Structure 1
Amino acid sequence: MSANGKDEAVLKTISDMMAAGLKTQTEPFPETEKEFGAILTELRHLEPEDLKSKLVISGFVNRPYGPDQQRCLECMYYLVHRKWCDLPELSVPVEPDWWCRLWRI
């Protein structure tokens, strides 16, 4: 399977998990670098293929989030042409209208 085909399969898996009601940790949003780093550390301790735990810990939701309706599309880690989160600890395909608590501008 090509990298793009694999990405599409993983994207569908993620989308299906969230559509099925996967509960994720959207709060607390990390307000400081220390809090942000703590979430990254938790993610680094996971097996690279543990997709469900990555989604839960990072707080993924399949819609814009918060009072400002933040979404992956405006995040500094989002690669538009690949539909990809380039944060090394996540490194997963994502839709532009999704969000996670590691969101940054």
Structure 2
Amino acid sequence: MNNEQQKAMLRTMAHFMDNGLKTQTEPFPETEKEFAAILDELRALNPDDLEAKMVISGFFNRPYGPDRQRCMECLYYLVHREWCDLPELAVPVDADWWCRLWRI
């Protein structure tokens, strides 16, 4: 994916969230088994179904929860690319967004 495609995808994702996309922020996967179940759901999707990926992974367009978690502190966030490197997602993300696959 080139830089322009990445920027366009980021804008599309922001548009979805800004326009009220309801995502599955709960339950947050507390165990590896629960985390793996969400990954299985993502793997079953068409890889190009961006909206479904966002719904299942629980994207939220600002820091989330009492600890105000955000992509910036997530294990999968690539700072210089502004990218989520979790293979089942592999999408551009804003540093202040969050999803329920967040890990430290």
TM-score range, shorter chain: over 0.9
TM-score between both structures, scaled by the size of structure 2: 0.99
Aligned pairs (5 A) from 1:1-105: 3-105=2-104
Amino acid at match of 1:71: R
TM-score by length of 1: 0.98
Separation in structure 2 between the aligned mates of residue 93 and residue 15 of structure 1, nearest angstrom: 10
Q: Which string of whole-angstrom CA distances, capped at 9 and with x for unpartnered residues, describes residues 21-79 of structure 1?
A: 00000000000000000000000000010000000000000000000000000000000
Q: Secondary structure at the match of 2:21?
A: coil
SS at match of 1:103: coil
- Mapped to 1, the partners of 2:75 and 2:30 lie a distance apart of 16
Structure 2 residue ranges without an equivalent (≥5): none
Name segments (4+ residues, structure 1) moved above 4 Å. Answer: none
The runs of 5 or more residues in structure 1 that have no matched partner are none
Q: Which residue identity is paired with 1:74? A: E
Superposed CA RMSD: 0.7
Question: For this pair of structures, how many residues does the alignment match?
Answer: 104
